[in-house]
Structure 1
Amino acid sequence: MCLVSTYMEKPQAHVVLFLFPAQGHIPPFLSLATQLHHYWPGLTITLVSTSHHTSLIQSFLPPDSCLRLHSLPFYPVDHGLPANAESLADLPVAQFITFFKATETLYPAFDDFISSLVSNASNHAPLCIVTDFFYGWTVDIAHKYKVYHTTFLTMGAFGGAVFFSLWLNLPHTLTKSNRFSLPEYPEIVMDRLQLPKLILEAHGTDEWSQFEHRQIRFLQKTDAMVINTGEEFEPLGLGMLRKTFKFPIWPIGPLLSLANQPSSSIFEDETTIMTFLDSQPPASVLYICFGSQNTIQHKQMRHLAQGLEDSGYPFISVIRPPIGYDPRGGFRDEWLPHGFKDRIKKKHKGLLIHGWAPQLKILGHRSTAAFLSHCGWNSILESISNGVPIVAWPLVAEQIFNSMMLVEVGLCVELARGMMESSEPTKAKVEEAVDLMMGPNAKGMEIRRRAKEYRTVINKAWDEEGGSSMESLLQFVQSINRATGNQ
């Protein structure tokens, strides 16, 4: 019996998905939009973002897509940012807070857009706004027009719960001890070494604290939350969120990239990558990627390269300029050990990729054995959905907390933490971590076994007949229908 067709009337509703302009936020939002359209084709779905980001979203859509797009004007130069800085990937980390605050000026344009939809809507057509956590202010617009508001949390449940608690309470500032409990979750004991630099240096009146506090206060007023995780994958984290927030929380993951590349291909090296993987033995290659907007220190980059080379395992590494250099600038060979590129090419042991890579294809290839990752949530879901265990090097935001969760459930080993030089892993430590995960040892074999086990668990959530994420998506759409009376 089909869950959707049997228990769901098709609503003629309009769902507005408002994306934060960061590359990593496109896959889950686009996947959510596509799932909604697939199961409920009567929905009108509009993806909203800044003009540059909307163009990027468009490149991921097929020519015959029924999804609508709406652009909001955004001028980075008005906020002291480079004129082309319309995404976090265009900026160094030091300018991230300026960018985040600048996006709050989208309020009037988004207000006008929602006002026009409400004015033109049928009395029987519910409207739902689904926004990124970083657009918390949209809840006031939703309430102004009596529109149903949902926050889409693109991070994991455990990572999100810890992230909110730390920013809201700054518990590390209330004690001199290196270890402390979270006020809402006394069973969760943190160590100062587990705090990202931004939180560690926060004191409540700094720009980051004020921005995050605003978003959390807005979040407390939303009508519901959908989250890119699975009920069986993160029972602890979901329990923590439900303890803190009293609105419905529906896990609807994993929401993965629907295609390995946009319609106008940006993966110029895909043929090279696939040829390299095809030439390697099964479960022998380590894939390395720190996401679309993160990088590490120059010295860390050299040590990582030396450890990879000395480990003897074949690898594919997506590489960006190190911290302190233009993220859009060209890559210099001097940032790597002398002769490194020539040696790995000659030995056919390594492949360096500049820019984006077809991550899902790499993780799904028979030759890929493990993923050295920054533990961004998209990357975690893509890795575990393919049964690939993780060597963790979390860098910023909630990534360290994601790593904590993965270690706890036996799906990864942590190599390093943070992007500061003090967290630098030595060449020997890199070699040791890679060998532990890739080699024929008991611990590595157990982690690899659990990764295969969790692949089945997380992917079953989307079974149409009784899958937990399928049921959550159904409940979400039903809640949009019930909101008709609020119009």
Structure 2
Amino acid sequence: MEGQNDSQVAVVMVPFPAQGHLNQLLHLSHLVISYGIPVHYAGSAMHNHQAKVRIQGWDTECLTKIQFHDFQLPPYSSPPPKPDLSAPFPVHLQPLFDISTHLREPVSELLEQLSAKCRRVIVVHDSAMASVVQDVKFIPEVESFHFNPVSAFYRFLGSWEDIPEFDKPFKIDPSVIIPKCIPSREGTITPEFSRFLVDQKKFWGIESGRIYNTSRVIEGPYVELLEKLLGNNTETKHFVLGPFNPVEMSGNQKRHTCLEWLDQHNKGSVIYVSFGSITSLTEEQIGELATGLERSGQKFIWVLRNADKGDDFCSGKDGNLEFTEGYEERVKDRGMVVREWAPQLDILAHRSIGGFMSHCGWNSCIESISMGVPIAAWPMHSDQPRNAVLITEVLGVGVMVREREDRGMLVSSATIESAVKRLMTAKEGAQIRKRAMELGDSVRKSVSKGGASSLEMDAFIAHITR
């Protein structure tokens, strides 16, 4: 079906304005466009720009095929991030999250315009933007799909726990791995964000189907449980289309200087350290991490930047995150510190990368898995603690740096040093790296022609163009 042109159908992406969410739906946009179907990407002007300048892995010409709709948000406060070990959730972004609901009117107007011209309009909206697309039920020829931006493992466990024991609709097959010690959701998000999500969930259920950025190769049992729990009938379709990110990098992009540094090192010899775009570490924690990396004796590339602000994604370039005197000079032959946005996909795909110390946001997890890179899991908030359990205990492609029960505590340099050595040099790490490479191979095969994810993408396109 690749290359077909059905101009009677248009797809509208409505992303949540946080980098990992923007990224996933922009990757999906590229996949849909490859079938010759026009895609509209609807968001605030600033966040559309953010998504475009940070896209990785695709030929840059692909962006010209997506129609971006740059809407303006009302003024809102944008406080700087406040690093806090006891409360790592990005509370400084809550004003942005709240104001994003004002996109309802311009998005509805866009859908009405497209509805008048197209046989069918397909809306793919982030689950946290459900209120923005609530008017789809009143607009002719518009069909919506709920995009799940987190792991199927996380989504199933949360849905299952919310059902009283006496009302569970079925028993989970013993062959499905459900770890005994599942981290509690308590304290993973703020009360304010919890209320925001509750408000969004009021508008769940009007969609025609659900889309997941995962693979049945990775999370097949948990996808099947979700299908069984949420209903898998003709009215509600479940499409498991991931990974959305490319698994082979386009050569038509200017290379970041960090990639030239990586070129100088042996295969699998470098650990990549990054905690995503919305997490800031305290100065004390930065010091412990720096010492742990140095003492580990391992080569490393570390992206050290403050979290994005709500109104200025370039705010991550922060020069005041400093080490003790002489640190960078001491580690210059085996360590590189990047103080700006870095091309994570390109880094993970580089042959010299042998591990990834990560916060375990789902975007980072799926990218690392698809590149066959094992993870040193250091979860911070939201879905990350449970993603870390999926990575380490279910899939067996990572080691835990810090347990959820230790949240709020400083992670010592000794703990960091031990985790790096376990992953990069120990016998345990060798087995983990082998499993990660095997899983990565399986995932890459699934997106190639005739693979499970490729066939599921074909089915999704056939469904929306029926």
- Code of the aligned partner of 2:318: G
Q: Distance between the aligned counterparts of 2:288 and 2:449, measured in 1?
A: 47
Would you say the 8 A contact 1:92–1:323 is kept in 2?
A: no
1:297 touches 1:419 (CA, 8 Å); kept in 2? no
Query: Aligned partners of 1:5, 1:321: CA distance in 2, in Å?
Result: 41
1:149 Cα shift? Answer: 0.4
User: What is aligned with 2:111?
Assistant: 114
SS in 2 for 1:62: helix
Q: Distance in 2 between matches of 1:277 and 1:262?
A: 16
- RMSD value over aligned CA atoms? 3.4
Residue 272 of structure 2 corresponds to 287
Q: Does 1:50 align with 2:47?
A: no
Contact 2:137 2:206 in 1 (8 A): no
Contact 1:139–1:221 at 8 Å: present in 2 too? Answer: no
Distance 1:431 1:64, change over 3 A: closer
Aligned partner of 2:146: which letter? T
Instruction: Say whether the 8 Å CA contact 2:89–2:381 is kept in structure 1.
Output: no
* Alignment match, 1:252: 241
Shift in CA distance, 27/473, structure 1 to aligned 2, threshold 3 Å: same
**Distance of 1:448 and 1:224 partners within structure 2:** 36
Question: Match for residue 436 of structure 1?
Answer: 422
Query: Residue 425 of structure 1 corresponds to which residue in structure 2?
Result: 411
Counterpart-to-counterpart distance in 1, 2:166 and 2:356 = 31
Q: Per-residue deviation at 1:154?
A: 2.4
Q: 1:91-130 alignment to 2 at 5 Å?
A: 93-118=90-115, 120-122=116-118, 125-130=119-124
1:9 is displaced (CA, Å) by 9.0
Conservation of the 8 A alpha-carbon contact between 1:297 and 1:322: no
State the aligned residue count: 440
Secondary structure of 1:136 counterpart? helix
2:290 paired residue number: 305
**TM-score (norm. length: structure 2):** 0.84
Closer/same/farther in 2, CA of residues 293 and 194 from structure 1, 3 Å limit: same
Q: CA deviation at 1:219?
A: 2.4
- Distance in structure 1 (CA, Å) of the matches to 2:337 and 2:65: 37
Q: Which residue of 1 aligns with 2:187?
A: 197
Specify the alignment match of 1:330 in structure 2.
Answer: 318
What secondary structure does 1:296 align onto? coil
Name 1:75's counterpart in structure 2.
74
Equivalence map 1:188-227=2 (5 Å): 188=178, 194-195=184-185, 197-199=187-189, 206-227=191-212
Shift of 1:279: 2.0
Is 2:360 aligned against 1:399? no
Question: Structure 1 residues 210 and 184 mapped into 2: Cα distance closer, same or farther (>3 Å)?
Answer: farther
Q: Which runs of 5+ in 1 are unaligned?
A: 86-90, 172-179, 483-487
- Structure 1 pair 401/198, CA: closer, same or farther in 2 (3 Å)? closer
Query: Which AA in structure 2 matches 1:344?
Result: V
Aligned to 2:96, the other structure's residue is in SS state helix
- Secondary structure, aligned partner of 2:64: coil
Contact 1:311–1:431 (CA<8 Å) still a contact in 2? Answer: yes
Choose from 7, 13, 16 the match for 2:12.
16
What is the match of residue 339 of structure 1?
A: 326
The 3-state SS of whatever aligns with 1:293 is coil
Aligned equivalents of 2:102, 2:320: Cα separation in 1? 37
Say if 1:139 and 1:400 are closer, same or farther in 2 by CA, change over 3 A. same
Q: Match of 2:396, SS?
A: coil
Letter in 2 for 1:288: V
Confirm whether residue 31 of structure 1 aligns to residue 27 of structure 2.
Answer: yes
What residue identity is the alignment partner of 1:452?
M
Give me the whole-angstrom Cα distance separating, in 1, the residues matched to 2:386 and 2:441: 23
Measure the CA separation in 2 of the matches of 1:431 and 1:48. 44
After superposition, the C-alpha distances for 1:166-201 in whole angstroms (9 at most, x for unaligned) are 6x57x9xxxxxxxx99978986567585436245xx
Q: Quick one: which amino acid aligns to residue 128 of structure 1?
A: I
Q: Deviations over 1:185-226 (max 9, x none)?
A: 986567585436245xx6xxx433322122233223321011
- Structure 1 CA distance, aligned partners of 2:454 and 2:68? 25
Normalising to structure 1: TM-score of the pair?
Answer: 0.81
Q: Residue 423 and residue 216 in structure 1: after superposition, are their counterparts in 2 closer, same or farther (change >3 A)? A: farther
Separation in structure 2 between the aligned mates of residue 64 and residue 452 of structure 1, nearest angstrom: 31
Does residue 144 (structure 1) correspond to residue 138 (structure 2)? The answer is: yes
**Contact 2:40–2:67 (CA<8 Å) still a contact in 1?**
yes
* CA–CA separation in structure 2 for the residues paired with 1:96 and 1:262: 34
**Structure-2 change in CA distance of 1:10 and 1:261 (3 Å):** closer
- 8 Å CA contact 1:393–1:416 kept in 2: the answer is yes
2:175 matched to which residue of 1? none
**8 Å contact from structure 1 (residues 289, 319) kept in 2:** yes
Determine the structure 2 residue equivalent to 1:238.
223
Partners in 2 of 1:423 and 1:45 — Cα distance?
45
Deviates more, 1:152-161 or 1:51-60: 51-60
Q: Which amino acid aligns with 1:152?
A: F
The SS at the match of 2:385 is helix
Change (3 A) 1:183 1:31: same
SS in 2 for 1:137: helix
The alpha-carbon distance between structure 1 residues 130 and 101, as it changes in their structure 2 partners (threshold 3 A), is same
Partner deviation per Cα, 1:9-62 (whole Å, 9 max, x = no partner) = 9573011111222222333222222221212x1x22111110112233444552
Question: Any idea what the Cα deviations from partners look like across 1:59-78, whole Å, max 9, x if unmatched?
Answer: 4552882221112221333x
Q: Which runs of 5+ in 2 are unaligned?
A: 82-87, 173-177
Amino acid at match of 1:65: T
User: Offset at 1:98?
Assistant: 2.4
Separation in structure 2 between the aligned mates of residue 264 and residue 278 of structure 1, nearest angstrom: 16
